[in-house]
């Protein structure tokens, strides 16, 4: 069973980089991670441990000489899906601008870039987007 240990941390321009050592007592690997917050850090560790611990059962699922094919094809998005993804990216950006810049008073809500983004969101809104909020 793999365990995780923080072996170092250092400040980098993107935040704090932790070096994590994953080991099962026989095999050891290290990975750097720059978490955005404690929950993200916890999620990274839990997901990596789950992946490593499940990999111990993988060898019994395949036999020598078997050709293994994983379908890793990138899904082809329709233009409507591309537009929807762009809309929600813009909406998230707008919400961050309001929350982190306008509300604390760093930027005025009538800044041309903020007004333009708001107008773009209003123009591109589609009623079916309500199903994804």
Helical (H) or strand (E) element with 18: strand 15-23
Instruction: Give the tokens for residue 88.
Output: 């929600």
pLDDT in tens, the chain (133 residues): 889 999 999 999 888 999 999 998 888 999 999 988 888 899 999 999 988 888 766 556 666 776 666 666 667 788 999 999 999 999 999 999 999 999 999 999 999 999 999 999 999 999 999 988 8
* Structure token digits, residue 108: 């005025």
3 state DSSP class of 37: coil
């Amino acid at each position: 069973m793999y365990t995780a240990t923080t072996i170092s941390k250092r400040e980098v321009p993107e935040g704090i980089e932790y070096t994590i050592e994953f080991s099962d007592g026989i095999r050891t690997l290290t990975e750097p991670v720059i978490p955005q917050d404690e929950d993200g850090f916890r999620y990274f560790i839990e997901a990596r441990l789950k992946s490593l611990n499940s990999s111990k059962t993988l060898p019994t699922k395949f036999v020598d000489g078997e050709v293994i094919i994983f379908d890793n094809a990138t899904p082809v998005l329709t233009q409507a899906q591309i537009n929807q993804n762009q809309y929600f990216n813009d909406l998230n950006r707008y919400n961050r601008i309001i929350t982190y810049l306008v509300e604390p008073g760093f930027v005025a809500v009538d800044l041309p870039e903020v007004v333009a983004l708001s107008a773009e969101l209003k123009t591109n809104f589609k009623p079916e987007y309500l199903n994804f909020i």
